[in-house]
């Protein structure tokens, strides 16, 4: 599975930890930066990752900033993007099963590296279960542009 990954300076350290870990698990990562701890604007990185998913170049994305909040606010503005900020494994599992989230947001200054690895691995391996949840996704779609 091809995964777009991006971060701002607050998520840089965690991005660099997750990249080799997820590559080793067999995920193909496309890195949209940032590539240092120099300050950047998280909306710019969110734009690149969301656009790669909208174009179908990557199937899913991971966005990391200090809290994960700024990235999730930005990502959820994009049509077809369902971004979930997760700080625990249960939410990571549920958001795939019920929300079919296509972007995982993480807080690099909030969630420790070992927990973040577990969250990412669970989120990447879980599938959407459909059923009545599909009708709810249709309702989310109908909210786009409100
Ligand atoms: C950057 O200082 C910080 O505001 C950003 O990483 C993020 O936490 C915003 O939501």
Instruction: Residue 9: give its domain's CATH number.
Output: 3.40.1400.10
- Which residues are part of the catalytic machinery? 65, 98
Does ligand 1 lie within 6 Å of residue 10's CB atom? yes
In angstroms, rounded to a whole number, what is the distance separating the alpha carbons of residues 100 and 82?
7
Mean pLDDT by 10 residues, the chain (146 residues): 98 98 98 98 98 98 98 98 99 98 98 98 98 97 93
In angstroms, rounded to a whole number, what is the distance separating the alpha carbons of residues 66 and 56?
27
| Cβ atoms 81, 54 nearer than 8 A | yes
| Cβ atoms 92, 68 nearer than 8 A | no
Residue 48 CB burial class (10 angstroms; 0-12, 13-18, ≥19) = middle
Selection from 47, 140, 46, 71 nearest residue 100 by Cα? 140
Number of domains within the chain = 1
Q: Which residue segment(s) compose the domain that 57 sits in?
A: 2-142
Give residue 145's pLDDT.
86
Beta bridge partners of 35: none
Give residue 72's pLDDT.
98
Does ligand 1 lie within 6 Å of residue 42's CB atom? yes
Does ligand 1 lie within 6 Å of residue 66's CB atom? yes
């Amino acid at each position: 599975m091809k995964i777009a990954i991006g971060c701002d300076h607050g998520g840089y350290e965690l991005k660099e930890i997750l990249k080799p870990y997820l590559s080793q698990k067999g995920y193909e990562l496309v890195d949209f930066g940032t590539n240092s701890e120099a300050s950047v604007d998280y909306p710019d990185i969110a734009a690149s990752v969301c656009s790669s998913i909208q174009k179908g170049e990557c199937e899913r994305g991971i966005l990391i900033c200090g809290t994960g909040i700024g990235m999730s606010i930005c990502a959820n503005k994009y049509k077809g993007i369902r971004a979930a900020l997760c700080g625990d494994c249960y939410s990571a599992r549920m958001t795939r099963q019920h929300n079919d989230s296509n972007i995982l947001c993480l807080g690099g200054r909030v969630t420790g590296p070992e927990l973040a690895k577990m969250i990412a691995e669970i989120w990447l391996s879980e599938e959407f279960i459909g059923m009545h949840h599909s009708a709810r996704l249709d309702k989310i779609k109908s909210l786009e542009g409100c």
